[in-house]
Amino acid sequence: MLAVSVFVVALVSQTAARYTADWTSLDARPLPPWYDEAKVGIFVHWGVFSVPGFGSEWFWWHWQGQQPPDQKCVSYMSKNYPPGFSYPEFAPQFQAQFFNPEDWADIFKASGAKYVVLTAKHHEGFTNWESPNSWNWNSVDTGPHRDLVGDLGEAVRNRSLHYGLYNSLYEWFHPLYLIDKKNGFKTQEFVLNKLLPELYNMVVRYRPEVIWSDGDWEAPDTYWNSTQFLAWLYNDSPVKDTIVTNDRWGSGCACKHGGYYNCEDKYTPGQLPKHKWEKCTSVDTFSWGYRRNMKMSELMNLSTIIEDLVHTVALGGNYLLNVGPTPDGMIPAVFEERLRGVGAWLEINGEAIYASAPWRVQYENTTVPVWYTSKGTSVYAIMTTKPPKLTLQLLGPKTSAITKVTLLGNPHPLPWSPVYPNAGLTVLLPELPYSPGQAWTLKLDGIK
């Protein structure tokens, strides 16, 4: 009876534990397990910036923010728009008339991704939902006259995918932000009257499972009130048990504080990190948002995407792959083709990816490049290049009398022989079948 009482008290203490508004406490919060198990996500950059569709989603800043302005953007506007045309005039042209969230969700599901992250608000400040703190600069008051965040969220969740939201902390041209910036961030007019009310509202209304924070680097976390917000998010919000956040909560936070680490865009560590991380990258290597003048040579091909995904997961990361839809609400066919190709590869090789963990050896290149993952007692060796001969030598695994090797997608055991006593093996491969991403996976059981 005493043991039961102690267990109940311990359980109550555990569930009642609260995080305080400081990094020591917040950084100690365990990451909800769904995130590490998911491994693969889709990022979607969509907003008013999709209308000019030129340069990147930073078009407004490059045109009218930075000094001197980007002359390519200046020339683009002077050649295609009347004198005096302002960026907010693009908003009515962001109509999303072909946007079908069911179609998008079908594509994301077919990609093999387990979560989707949509831009709720980028640095331009336009919200893809009816934010009461962004009057007439949101997708319900102008442009599509639709709740894009809500519509996509419903479709995504109906397919058992997790749903997250990207939110920029800063806004390039918001008057209150510019006042705070001029005051050296000693005032918080923007944070208290715009950012935080909007963030709280967004979380309560849409219950995202990821908050992908960005636009933090100009000011410290104390200006953004990041630790107070995260303490509420982890303690009292409606998503306190499932929410996952990244590390962009103020200058100096990246790769140091928060939930999982992004560190920087397209971050790739050289060795196995000690902290959970995510690589975000884009099919269009020049932009996150839609570009009307993108060329095939500027896009990641499928085999490059698969190799990047495998490399990331072998080093313990999640892989967040971005596409930029058109302003009328279509995912360009070439992006859809890439996503479906990833899904076709994962259909066969997903066993080596989802819910996997890094192995004691992450990589070797004895015959061809091979990345390792593990799950339970099984180890997976993923070849990202087709071997020149039908033999593959692996030096990392330590074999035993019960070692068994199979090729994912083919149930028949493969012949193998040891390279050294109890160490390394040479596998006799079958004729390798067509692989959507030119990568094949061996499953190794009974090894160390």
What 8-state DSSP symbol labels residue 64? I
Task: Decide: pTM greater than 0.85.
Answer: yes
User: How far, in Å, are 45, 97, 341 from residue 337 at the CA level?
Assistant: 18, 22, 6
Q: Answer whether CATH 2.40.50 is correct for domain 357-445.
A: no
For residue 17, what pLDDT is reported? Answer: 80
Angle at 91 between CA 175 and CA 321, to 5 degrees: 95
User: How far, in Å, are 11, 17, 29, 30, 164 from residue 8 at the CA level?
Assistant: 5, 14, 22, 21, 34
The tokens describing 268, both together, are 């790739």
Q: Which residues is 374 bridged to in the sheet? A: 357, 379
DSSP 3-state of 114: coil
For residue 421, what pLDDT is reported? Answer: 85
Position of tokens 């990816």? 353
Q: Residue ranges per domain, the chain?
A: 23-352, 357-445
Burial class (CB in 10 A: 0-12, 13-18, 19+), 1: exposed
Q: What are phi and psi of 172, to 5 degrees?
A: -45, -45
For residue 423, what pLDDT is reported? Answer: 86
CA-to-CA distance for 213 and 305, rounded, in angstroms?
A: 24
Q: Which residues is 164 bridged to in the sheet? A: 117, 210
Residues 6+ apart with CB under 8 A from 365: none
CATH number of 23-352: 3.20.20.80
The tokens describing 423, both together, are 């160490």
pLDDT digits (tens), the chain, 448 positions: 444 444 443 444 345 589 999 999 999 999 999 999 999 999 999 999 999 999 999 999 999 999 999 999 999 999 999 999 999 999 999 999 999 999 999 999 999 999 999 999 999 999 999 999 999 999 999 999 999 999 999 999 999 999 999 999 999 999 999 999 999 999 999 999 999 999 999 999 999 999 999 999 999 999 999 999 999 999 999 999 999 999 999 999 999 999 999 999 999 999 999 999 999 999 999 999 999 999 999 999 999 999 999 999 999 999 999 999 999 999 999 999 999 999 999 999 999 999 999 999 999 999 899 999 999 999 999 999 999 999 999 999 999 989 999 999 999 999 999 999 878 999 999 999 999 889 999 999 999 8
Residues 6+ apart with CB under 8 A from 413: 404, 405, 406
Give all strands of the β-sheet with 423-428 in edge-to-edge order. 391-394, 423-428, 416-420
Q: Is the peptide bond before 332 cis (omega within 30 degrees of 0)?
A: no
**Largest Cα–Cα distance of the chain, in whole Å?**
82
Nearest residue to 185 via CA among 214, 224, 215: 224
